[in-house]
Structure 1
């Protein structure tokens, strides 16, 4: 009975199953276009091109170019400041408020046209140019054609406010206040502290514009003299000869001039470092001018020989500690008050061994010159038979022939200060009989010097080599 109960299931198993069949689509005949990739590509090109253009503009255009692209120039500029005298004169007192009247008043508003100045503003601006149709000016002797105009109203008393006073003068019709004359800035001694304005079309001075001195420049005797030199650990140094001759007397420029005139010695310093300046000093300055060479310059023997061939007496620069040390370092050969006497003596001999044929030393290191070490330095200079220019003193008979420096005439390198210091040199030469002027190798300094030298005879002065103004030290103090 159980088997009968499952006959119907067996019959169900034997019945065929149904299958679902999907037919393949039949391709359509003709052109099949897919627009989606094309649209995506166009979108990428448009977005990419716009982004690239923006980057290009940001990198290559300036701010004013972008403003021009935005086309905001047709409207009056907003980013401007009100200036006194521009726009409406009635608003002069209210200078703190920006004007937006369309008649000017801003830094970006061009003059004239719709944005030009008002008639009141033009009245406040003085103009000496006559109009094109103005009648010719009458001669002083001609009779007046009409009665003279009424005198302008008197200006109101000043109130202390410059802007308010100017506005009151304009409303009263009076003339503008006169400008105060410019006074040259001077220090307590009357020395100019800044140059006066120069015209823009004036050419700056140059060495090429200088003319060679008149007269024949005879060479000095050949130097160095073998009998006046000794070999040392530092090198060949000058020493008095066996016959008693002093190197400074042998190497100096001979001079014989009037004894009733004040002597002026001019020393050009720091030569040999600049080729153009050194050649100008040698070839374009009078042979009576003394030339001082830096121990740091190369080829010193050649420069000294050339200077002597043009008739110049030659010195060596002795670097030393001065005002402003250590920011103003005199270099590895400089004499310092902090060094021992032996170290300074070694530096002195190193400097003297750098050249040959010079008559003396010049030092502008006033700080070291005032130190107690200076006496020993001057005693060493005396042993070598040369003279010294600068600050310092030695005991009676213990120092070399020396002379102080009167002025560094171009310490302020502009015309007014140079002329003033040259005048001070002239005064000292007339009152004390002699003076020493130190000058740097600069075009302006040379030009002002040459102009001053042409007037020496009229001041009862004469230009001499430096060896003619030195004197033997007679005791403490400056010589």
Structure 2
């Protein structure tokens, strides 16, 4: 409601109207109103505000539109920056996530039937005793024919003799399964020591070294070219690990990540299936920290003491392994100052080292040779591209390398296609004159390579 005494006047300040020392007209109307009647003046001022522009006009005007546009562009830029920083998955997560695809290909229901080969062999052993009784009756019938009473006395003698062969017959039948499980399942107490990081490997009495004690038996006189396959990054996916343990030929070496759980159970299962096992030791890659192998990664920026402590944490996660293979160590394995103390510590514990050769500039094999550390070098990764054609070409390349140099090493992961192709390929090696060997059978046998 407009007040009559404001009619004809514009909204202004006292100074603008020239009554700087005089009260405004409204306050002169009634001296009795006091402070309370100044409120209509405020109401009138707010009522006239829209005529001067107001906040709404500012927001709807060019300035407001420009501000909104800049705010939108800034939000999009911030979102893009966040995605660029956090969108990459680390190498450790990639290994964790990748095997999940195996759930659709290797469900547990299909894995269970492959476990009971022993019961299937046991029934076949039962018929053996039936053949023994069949053989004994002919002897009894032949005995009575030649002589009257003397032959019956001779017939009881063969009868007790028949049971021993029958008891001996079932023994060879269950023997084939243990042939595949020649690796001992018990961790030798003489080869471990207590530490704050758990049980660590050590050289035992009379110089017994863990890398030899836990190695899968292999004929050292074998003259055919040798190829070793290492399936790495195991333990994070139960389905992928189970598939590798059960489906891979027992000559294939299995490498487990220290970040997995139930490692002792996995190692016992793997060694019971005939595999020798290794530890995947996280080392600094070139892309660190965007590519991050985990919180216990050995880094070139750390002191030797800190790196050795991190390595001992990994070594103490489980026992019964023959050695370690570096995981994503493309930067660490090129730094001699950082790598030398680590390799010396492995030698002092009687372990073997496999250089994954993530970098062509790796000096790991050179250092290992200079300190007499048993070692092997990866010839190539077999599944950089997880496809049948790529893996088949990689395996064929390993054959050529083995024929040329006498031996070769290939490293892959537990992708379903990798396991399927390696299993099929391994079955063809005998006819090609090549032998599949555990990686310990290639220790310090490879020709140096650049």
**TM-score bracket, shorter-length normalisation:** 0.5 to 0.7
Residue aligning to 2:240: 277
Partner residue, 1:245: 208
The aligned residue for residue 339 of structure 2 is 374
Change (3 A) 1:421 1:239: same
What whole-Å deviation, never above 9, does each CA across 1:171-220 have from its counterpart, x for those lacking one?
Answer: xxxxxxxxxxxxxxxxxxxxxxxxxxxxxxxxx99336899699733252
Q: What aligned pairs does 1:63-212 form with structure 2 within 5 A after superposition?
A: 206-207=105-106
Instruction: Give, in whole Å, the separation in 2 of the partners of 1:288 and 1:395.
Output: 24
Alignment partner of 2:442 out of 469, 472, 475? 469
Answer 1 or 2: which has greater helix percent.
2
1:435 match: secondary structure: strand
Tell me the distance in 1 between the aligned counterparts of 2:209 and 2:306: 26
SS of corresponding position for 1:324: coil
What is the rounded CA distance, in whole Å, between the counterparts of 1:243 and 1:233 in structure 2?
26
| Change in CA separation of 1:339 and 1:394 when aligned onto 2, cut-off 3 Å | same
Q: Is 2:203–2:350's contact at 8 Å kept on the other side of the alignment? A: yes
What residue in structure 1 maps to residue 166 of structure 2? Answer: none
Higher-Rg structure is 1
Aligned to 2:430: 457
Looking at structure 2, the residues matched to 264 and 321 of structure 1 have their Cα atoms a distance apart, in angstroms, of: 28
The equivalent of 2:264 in structure 1 is 301
Unaligned runs of 5+ in 1: 1-203
Determine the C-alpha separation between the residues in 2 that align with 1:399 and 1:348: 20
TM-score by length of 2: 0.57
TM-fit CA distance, 1:342: 1.3
Shift in Å, 1:333: 1.5
Structure 2: 5+ residue runs without aligned partners?
1-102, 118-175, 358-363
Q: Choose the corresponding residue for 1:347, options 272, 295, 310.
A: 310
Q: Give the CA deviation at 1:459.
A: 2.7
Distance 1:235 1:257 in 2: 34
Distance 2:223 2:418 in 1: 28
What residue number does 2:348 align with?
383
Structure 1 residue 376 displacement after superposition: 1.8
Secondary structure of 1:394's match?
Answer: helix
Could you report, residue by residue, the CA deviation over 1:404-432 in whole angstroms, capped at 9, with x for unpaired residues?
Answer: 11111011111221111111111111111
Deviation at 1:244, TM superposition (A): 0.8
Q: Contact (CA 8 Å) 2:284, 2:332: kept in 1 or not?
A: yes
Helix, strand or coil at the partner of 2:206: coil
- Say if 2:368 and 2:375, in contact at 8 Å, map to a contact too: no
Partner-residue secondary structure (3-state), 2:212:
helix
Checking the alignment, whether the CA contact within 8 Å between 1:228 and 1:241 is kept in structure 2 is yes
| Inter-partner Cα distance in structure 2 for 1:321 and 1:460 | 39
Query: Which sits farther off after the overlay, 347-356 or 208-217?
Result: 208-217
Counterpart position of 2:197: 234
- Say which structure, 1 or 2, has more relative contact order (CA 8 Å, 6+ apart): 2
Distance 1:207 1:427 in 2: 32
* Structure 2 residue aligned with 1:180: none
1:259 corresponds to which residue?
A: 222
CA distance in 2, matches of 1:478, 1:371: 18
Work out the CA distance in 2 between the residues paired with 1:299 and 1:395: 31
Q: Tell me the residue number matched to 2:319.
A: 356
Partner Cα separation in structure 2 for residue 219 and residue 402 of structure 1 = 23
Aligned to 2:387, which of 414, 421, 439? 414
1:408 touches 1:439 (CA, 8 Å); kept in 2? yes
Task: Measure how far apart 1:232 and its partner are.
Answer: 2.0
Aligned residues of 1:264 and 1:461 also touching (Cα < 8 A): yes
